[in-house]
Structure 1
């Protein structure tokens, strides 16, 4: 009796996780826009502090899990979450909780995008050629440097920076390492601001988030970005030679 031919896997099953992420992101942008805010943190600060003091381990795990969900589903409030990490846990370990949660959430988006659409998009870009294919090839040839620059200099939105590597075939290892290292400087600054929120609340003020663009803060971050770009420049000159 001839064997029954197997049905080809439904490609939409692979795409479902990423489509769910997009759907939740849209709903979150509509429904949670005003819910995760500095004002909300100010209202609930005493409750959060009391819960942290009575359940330190659970508070730590719950915070990291909430941060992962915010990043993975691109929900509004990532900046507020970073400030909350500093407010509740101080600069250390708050910065580790923030960086860890953001990296795990970003890896979730990356994996969903790569499994659902990454291979197809990468193949189409290569097939069509042109500027997109040249950009794809450039990213592949300079993955470490390009990914670090993309994280250090937040010119590309965080969500888009999670998708682009998935569409050019970046490995999960390189994505995770460059994400973790690249977001440390900016996350450090915002966690530092969050650690001082107690005094801000006492004065009934709002934190000055423009500190990230102060010369003494932005300068070193841009310096790291320039150092990350050095291998790309050297490779370019070596090709010319």
Structure 2
């Protein structure tokens, strides 16, 4: 005789497995995109098609903006390569301020899609387990809860943090969706300003017959302010850790 109070114990395992399908599909799409689509969205593609793109933009600005956002959301949501090139393209096609707005909107929507897919899958179960766990998981959850906004902003500001992980980790850690959305939108603004600014000057680069790249973002006058923002976001975490170490 079974001692379990669950009258349908075998139904739970298939249901739990089904909830992992969206996350597995997302990871599979990321691997596929990185291995096969690396050359599709590139500066060379933009250069070779710039005349057609600009002509279509001039004739159908609203449709071009909608299509740009939809493509950007798809690239981010499926973690396909080319998000940086698309951010530059936003400046190239729409100018600085409109380009920044479209880049931030599209990247935030795509990141939110990843968050929701992960949360619907394994994220909810993992967050619940972290909430009742002890030891390292409990300390990790407590640290995130104490500095959640600062940590979320740091995930966006640190240049070395892959965008995919910055979208996935908060979902698995139980971060609230609304807080994830606004910290994403705010945290990606510095990067969006840089990439869009590069895109604004891309037409002149192509006209001179030169090749475009993203080496500009590693220049001290660009990287310095971003690292300063990282330090500012990390300051409350460091000060609280210091107070805990200093007695009295």
**Same structural fold, with TM-score higher than 0.5 when normalized by the shorter chain:** yes
Between stretches 21-30 and 72-81, larger displacement belongs to: 21-30
- Residue from 92, 113, 134 that aligns with 2:139: 134
Contact 2:43 2:213 in 1 (8 A): no
**C-alpha distance in structure 2 between counterparts of 1:219 and 1:146, whole Å:** 20
1:161 alignment counterpart: 166
Contact 1:15 1:112 in 2 (8 A): no
- Residue from 201, 205, 208 that aligns with 1:200: 205
Cα offset for 1:239? 4.1
Number of residue pairs matched by the alignment: 236
**C-alpha distance in structure 2 between counterparts of 1:211 and 1:35, whole Å:** 22
2:4 alignment counterpart: none
2:93 alignment counterpart: 88
Contact 1:140 1:168 in 2 (8 A): no
1:50 alignment counterpart: 55
2:17 alignment counterpart: 12
2:44 alignment counterpart: 39
- The alignment partner of 1:10 has SS state of helix
- Residue from 181, 191, 214 that aligns with 1:176: 181
Cα RMSD (Å):
2.1
1:118 alignment counterpart: 123
1:218 alignment counterpart: 223
Using the size of structure 2 for normalisation, the TM-score is 0.87
Structure 1 gap ranges (5+): none
Contact 2:157 2:187 in 1 (8 A): yes
Contact 2:87 2:196 in 1 (8 A): yes
**C-alpha distance in structure 2 between counterparts of 1:56 and 1:101, whole Å:** 16
1:75 alignment counterpart: 80
**C-alpha distance in structure 1 between counterparts of 2:15 and 2:35, whole Å:** 31
Cα offset for 1:123? 4.6
- Residue from 130, 153, 160 that aligns with 1:148: 153
Deviations 1:178-198 (A, max 9, x none): 111111111110110011111
Using the size of structure 1 for normalisation, the TM-score is 0.89
Cα offset for 1:15? 2.8
